[in-house]
Chain A
């Protein structure tokens, strides 16, 4: 009984369609299904919102415009005018993470972003992309990023490794933050849901707590998607402008 009602059971990957290409397991899993659902929902959300471009927007159009303006503002504030080519990327990233986070809150669904491998692929791709961008824009001068200007040269052997490790830690902190937030929140919800059943009538107390926790989780779902997008903007800004 304990095994099938474990709070961690919700994170299990289940193969829905077994697939094997050249010895590599590429099965279509519940995780893949949720990603497809997220992309489909985003497409639907944006299509419906943009169907009628009214001067005075309706509710649906307002939501789409709100999402657009939120990302546009953070790109403008963090990168400036040069950030415009990267808007499409940041917007797609934000919408995908947001929808994965929020869809994961629906009972019996699956939270894609609670798996660190998913968030790490995103963060790693951003890290590599930003590094390539830095070298394309600045060539070898990009190495100057690891030595802050105005630092005496005899401190360089100490500061360059520190800056280098700080730079390498970016994809780790970016991916761990999102995955850990999602996983901790969903585990906590399940643990307290277990208390409701176990306590019988007294279970009203943890039930009230779950309602409050759920509100907090909804906030975190939005916030973590936003944080991920803003940090991506900051990293792109570092690569373009070469300063911290």
Chain B
């Protein structure tokens, strides 16, 4: 009763599914290049936003106390550090979740 056009018997099915799944997983990183752009935009905005908040906060404190430009200078530096921290945290999260590199 053996026919040639039938697929291989059920015993090998597990192995075949596993092989197919492995082959599929290899193609998983094809989206990486396009998400790289979003990723770059993400890091820049993180740094930029902290700098703006730092500078703005310093400017407000200066206007309130009339000490222009000292607080703004100090807060710009702190904002710079905060921006680095933001970018670092985002990058670390990116590293730990290499499987879907969107965020």
Q: Which positions in A face B, CB cutoff 8 Å? A: 161-163, 165-166, 168-170, 172-173, 176-177, 180-181, 216, 219-220, 223-224, 226-227, 230-231, 234, 244
Answer yes or no: B32 CB below 8 A from chain A CBs. no
Q: How far is it, in angstroms, between the C-alpha of A128 and the C-alpha of B86 when the chains are bound?
A: 19
In the complex, besides A165-B75, A168-B53, A173-B50, 19 extra interface pairs with C-beta distance below 8 angstroms are A161-B75, A162-B81, A163-B85, A165-B53, A165-B79, A165-B82, A166-B86, A168-B57, A172-B53, A173-B86, A176-B48, A177-B42, A180-B45, A216-B37, A220-B37, A220-B38, A223-B102, A234-B103, A244-B89
In-complex Cβ contact of A176 among B49, B79, B102 (8 A): B49
> Contacts A172-B52, A173-B48, A244-B89 known; A223 to B82 CB distance under 8 Å?
no
> Contacts A163-B82, A165-B79 known; A173 to B46 CB distance under 8 Å?
yes
Q: Which positions in B face A, CB cutoff 8 Å? A: 34-35, 37-38, 41-42, 45-46, 48-50, 52-54, 57, 75, 78-79, 81-83, 85-86, 89, 93, 102-103
A223 touches B86 (CB 8 A): no
**Beta-carbon nearest neighbor of B78 in chain A:** A161
Chain B residues whose CB sits within 8 angstroms of the CB of A224 once the complex forms: 38
How many residue pairs bridge A and B at CB < 8 Å? 72
> Contacts A227-B38, A227-B103, A231-B103 known; A165 to B54 CB distance under 8 Å?
yes
**Chain B interface, DSSP helix/strand/loop, else mixed:** helix
Chain B residues whose CB sits within 8 angstroms of the CB of A172 once the complex forms: 49, 52-53
In-complex Cβ contact of B34 among A177, A216, A231 (8 A): A216
**Chain A interface, DSSP helix/strand/loop, else mixed:** helix
A173 touches B82 (CB 8 A): no
**Beta-carbon nearest neighbor of A77 in chain B:** B97
Q: How far is it, in angstroms, between the C-alpha of A80 and the C-alpha of B52 when the chains are bound?
A: 33
User: Which 3 A/B pairs are nearest by Cβ-Cβ distance?
Assistant: A173-B49, A172-B49, A166-B82
Q: How far is it, in angstroms, between the C-alpha of A169 and the C-alpha of B76 when the chains are bound?
A: 13
**16 pairs from A and B in contact (CB 8 Å cutoff):** A162-B78, A163-B82, A165-B57, A166-B86, A169-B49, A169-B50, A170-B49, A173-B46, A176-B45, A176-B49, A177-B42, A216-B34, A220-B38, A227-B42, A227-B102, A234-B103
Q: How far is it, in angstroms, between the C-alpha of A216 and the C-alpha of B41 when the chains are bound?
A: 14
Chain B residues whose CB sits within 8 angstroms of the CB of A173 once the complex forms: 45-46, 48-50, 86
